[in-house]
Structures are given as structure tokens and as C-alpha cells.
Amino acid sequence: MAAPIAFVSRTTDANEAEWIRVLAAALPTETILPFRSMSAEERDLAEIAIVANPDPADIAQLKGLRWIHSLWAGVERLVAELGADAPPIVRLTDPELSRVMAEAVLAWTYYLHRDMPAYRDHQSKRIWAELEYRHPQDVTVGLMGLGTLGTQAAKRLQQAGFHTIGWSRSHKVIEGVETFSGDAGLTQLLAESDILVCLLPLTAETRGLLNGARFSEMKTGASIINFARGAVIVSDDLLAALAEGQLSHAVLDVFEKEPLEQESPFWQHPNVTVLPHISAPTNRQTAAHIVADNIRSWRQTGTLPATVDMSRGY
Ligand code: NAP
């Protein structure tokens, strides 16, 4: 029996079936089976698992697993749940996802730059008032995270004329973008940003990184966009910074608990825009082709693209 590929997820049957249909079309010589329908023999034979939020207990049953391909770019939950002994994990690195995220960063940067929350508020109060226009070059957008997504977002913002700066763990060179690293670099980025965009992975180092002390390093009245993971921000500290006017607005696409709980103060907050984790959805078609290329390449050469560094957490 040829080794089948296991598809392991905690999504709905319909969503799983659709993924398998698109993946099978991209990999016509492979057999991709939903984990639940696999026999004990098939589970023993599987060397590759394609996963979307899998149950770690299911992964543990695939004894011959050589590597895992995630259908998502963010692998923080997978890393936490599978632990250090997990087989190598390849995450989704899709130029289309980077394009969609860069589009979202630009869209919500414009939302803040062109004062849409304030004009919406004025409309609700029947206030006819013109706010001062700021040229993009006079607005500094600071990106936290200059990886696959952050780099594209930085380029898009820079092309749109915003003064763009960025921060990452290792030093990065991006034309037209001033870049920082290290703790002093973060302090500088926070001090200069009018709009701060978070595209950091959630790791032991970034959990709670944006807290009251960091908010107080920012310009009074600056705003924040979080498209990364909810737990990078300390929610209570964010609410305090908004109440004090230290921050003027937060666009939040991600939350510690999703869906956002009904009782969350963010829902009704006049200075918070709540989005339901939609900034960069995976595109099934482009993702399936990238997964297929990686699987074909491994079958032919035994090599994998860069895998997740489990000790770093991303
Ligand atoms: P990535 O390629 O791994 O890039 C991560 C960036 O963060 C890198 O520049 C990295 O620095 C930097 N970084 C990590 N830890 C750091 C630290 N402690 N201090 C400073 N910089 C640090 O990840 P990506 O593909 O761009 O994705 C980023 C995150 O976006 C994902 O982890 C996920 O949480 C989120 N995401 C959200 C959505 C959504 O719809 N909202 C969709 C997809 C992804 P180095 O360059 O030096 O390594």
C-alpha cells in the first residue's frame, strides 16, 4: 500500500472535504485521507500530515510521521500543543497571503490616517467638522515584525507614501524603510510611530509585549493595529491607555479568546474597531499549490523548506 497523506483538522466536515478536494487536484498522484476515516494500517504508514488546527491526540497516533505541513501561516497554537518532540513543521508561506495582509494593513492604516473613526462618531452626533488633513509622509507607521507578512506590508505602506519604520529580532534591510532591532530599537520605534502595526508571532518573548509600560513609550494619541495574535497585547493595559487618551484608537483583528466573548468591553468601545480575524484569510487554491510543491519536492529530493524553530516558537 502506498503511504497516504493524513489530513488532520478540527474544522467542519464540509470545510475538510473542500480542502481535501482542492489538495487532491493539486496532488493527483497522492492519496490524501481525512484522519478520521483512516484505518490503523493507513495511520501507521502516513509520513506526511497536512494540518489545520489539528487535535494533538490525532497527530500522536501517526507513528510514522516524518513532517507536518500547516495550512496556516501562524503556527503558535500548533507549536504549543505539539511541543518540542513534534516532527518538523512547515508553515504556509504564500505570496498571496502576504499580499492580502499587506492590503489589510494599508486599508486599516488609511482608516486611521483619514480619521474614519472620528468622522463616523461625528456623523452619529450630527457634527459637521473638518479635521486637519495629514499628508502620508508626515505619518509614521511602525511595523512590529518584518517577516514574510511584515516585509510586504512595509513595502506597501512605503509605496503609499507613509513614513515607514520596522522592528524585528534580527536586523533587516528593506529599501525605503528604516529598521530597528533589540530593546532600544523597540523603544525608538514606539516613540516615533503614529500608527503601530503588530505582525509578530506569539512566542514566550512576545506574549504581553505590548503592555502599559510600552504604551507609555508611545506618542500621546497614537493608534494601534493588531493583526498578529491577541495575547501580544495586555488587554487591560490597552483599555487603560485608551481611557487615559495615551492611545486614540485600536483596530483589533485578533483576541486571546476567539470568537471574542460577548461580555468583552472591546465590542462597545468607541475607540476600538473589532474585526473577526479576517485580515488575511488563507486562499485554498494558492495554498494548495504551495503545499503540493513542497510535498513533491520532498518526495523527489528529500528536502524541506525552512521549518518552524520549535525553541524560538516561530
Ligand atoms: P514570520 O515570517 O515568522 O515573521 C515574524 C517576524 O517577527 C520576524 O521579522 C521576526 O524577526 C519577528 N520577531 C519574532 N519574535 C520577535 C521578537 N521577540 N522580537 C522582535 N521581533 C521578533 O511570520 P509571518 O508569516 O510574517 O506572520 C506573523 C504572524 O502573523 C503570524 O505568526 C500570525 O500570528 C499572524 N497572522 C495573522 C493572520 C490574521 O489573519 N490575522 C494571518 C496570518 C498570520 P526575525 O525576522 O529576526 O526572525
- Predicted confidence (pLDDT) per residue in 5-24, tens digit: 999 999 999 999 999 999 99
Collapsing DSSP states into helix, strand and coil, what is residue 100?
helix
pLDDT > 70: what percent of the chain?
100
Q: Amino acid identity, residue 160?
A: A
Answer whether residue 241 shows pLDDT above 70. yes
Mean pLDDT value of segment 77-90: 95
Say whether pTM exceeds 0.95.
yes
C-alpha 172: how far from its chain's center? 19
Q: Amino acid identity, residue 238?
A: L
Nearest to 20 by CA among 45, 2, 38: 38
What confidence category does residue 142 fall into, taking pLDDT thresholds of 50, 70 and 90?
very high
**The cell 488609511 sits on which residue?**
110
**Second CATH level (architecture) for the domain 98-274:** 3-Layer(aba) Sandwich (3.40)
Q: Amino acid identity, residue 3?
A: A
Mean pLDDT value of segment 71-94: 95
Answer whether residue 168 shows pLDDT above 80. yes
> What do you get for the CA distance between the two ends of the chain, in Å?
35
Name the residue ranges covered by the structural domains of the chain. 5-94+282-301, 98-274
CA atoms within 13 A on the CB side of 293: 9
Answer whether residue 217 shows pLDDT above 80. yes
Answer whether residue 2 shows pLDDT above 90. no
Dihedral sign from CA coordinates of 209, 210, 212, 216: positive
Mean pLDDT value of segment 260-278: 98
Q: How far apart are CA 191 and CA 189, in angstroms?
A: 5
Pocket-forming residues, ligand 1, beta carbon under 6 Å: 73-74, 76, 145-150, 168-170, 199-203, 205-206, 227-229, 253-254, 277, 279-280, 314
Look up the CATH number of domain 5-94+282-301. 3.40.50.720
Q: How far apart are CA 253 and CA 278, in angstroms?
A: 7
Helix or strand holding residue 106 (H, E): helix 95-113
Q: Which atom of ligand 1 is nearest to the CA of 254?
A: 41
Q: How far apart are CA 183 and CA 299, in angstroms?
A: 42
Instruction: Tell me how far CA of residue 265 lies from CA of 48, 90, 138, 146, 270, in angstroms.
Output: 43, 37, 32, 30, 10
The residue nearest atom 20 of ligand 1, judged by CA position, is 169
Answer whether residue 1 shows pLDDT above 80. no
Q: In this predicted structure, which of 81-85, 179-183, 190-194 has the lowest mean pLDDT?
A: 81-85
